[in-house]
Amino acid sequence: MRQTATARTAYIFRHLRRDRPWLGLAAGAMLFVIAAALRWSFGGLTEGFGPMLFLPAVLLAGLLGGIRVGLSVAAICTLIAWTWFFAPYGTFILQPRQEIAMATFLFTAGLELYVIRILNVTINDLSEARERSNTMFRELQHRVANNLQFVAGLLLGQRKGLDKDSVGAMALGAALTRLELMARVHRRLHDPASVDRPIGEYLDELCRDLIRASDVPRTRLIVEIEPLVLDLETLMTLSLIVAEAVTNSLKHAFRQKDDGTILVRFEEKDHRYVLTVADDGSGLPAGLPAARSESLGQGILKSLASQLRGKLTFESCSGTTMRLVFPD
């Protein structure tokens, strides 16, 4: 799959923030030679604006090599333009119009380097903010996992003090089992190693854990997944959407019965990815528009869908169907 907008932005940040002096010098030198050749080829036709031919060399050198490289190339270009682009050649003597041309060149080159400097500072700030956000997110997941483990330990300790056949012990055992299942779901949702597994296998195990942890563990699951390849960020977002949609079905679709069927389908159509999560439950409440029902769950889904630049729709016919279409 092609990278999402966020992944592409991160890729650009990582590469633009890294100064490559030799590449900047090489690019600046190449454009410097081209500008000098054009100046001498066209001769008097470039009179007055000849130094402007060096501006691309300054821009590219500063962008690729950093401010220091850009300043060095700008200094060399200024020296050559001052002495060899204006008659009398080989001197620092300038006529009034020539002084205006040189002043314009110096101002424009300085403005280019200033903008590059601001751009580099902004990119560094954004990259650092992204890294801090990722660190905080990982720390949050670690704390959640620790809290789940702590609560599981408390339940296990309480159960040991009861008769194993008592109602209390069985209730605590059921709660402990459900908590362990939710911990497994949490680990699956945030495991970077998941990107190397077949999507169908990964989503199938995720949904089955959710079903076993629900109040309707007899729910049948049908998973139809094409053998597609997703990057880690897209896979994690897709997993959260599937988990939220399946959880909503388990909570609301089967209130009138103790079983049902949930279908999870993921496929590619016309250069678009299509995710479908459908159930054969009671459907959306009568007389309530799909866009307004179960606002919290659907709000979460829409927020996640926006991260994939996708379009989310809901249908209510012999159950509820959620469909997400997003670009590949």
The domains located in the chain, with CATH, are 1-190 (no CATH), 219-328 (3.30.565.10)
d(CA 42, CA 283): 76
d(CA 35, CA 30): 9
Task: Count Cβ atoms below 10 Å from residue 221 Cβ, excluding itself.
Answer: 15
Higher pLDDT, 108 or 195: 108
Q: Provide CB contacts within 8 A for 178, sequence distance 6+.
A: 213
User: pLDDT by residue (tens digit) across 32-44?
Assistant: 888 888 877 776 5
- How many angstroms separate the Cα of 227 from the Cα of each of 101, 263, 325? 62, 17, 17
The residue written with tokens 């997110």 in the block is 137
User: pLDDT by residue (tens digit) across 107-164?
Assistant: 999 999 999 899 888 888 887 887 887 778 777 777 877 777 788 788 888 877 787 7
- Which class for 21: exposed (0-12), middle (13-18), buried (19 or more C-beta within 10 A)? middle
User: pLDDT by residue (tens digit) across 208-236?
Assistant: 988 887 888 889 999 999 888 888 788 88
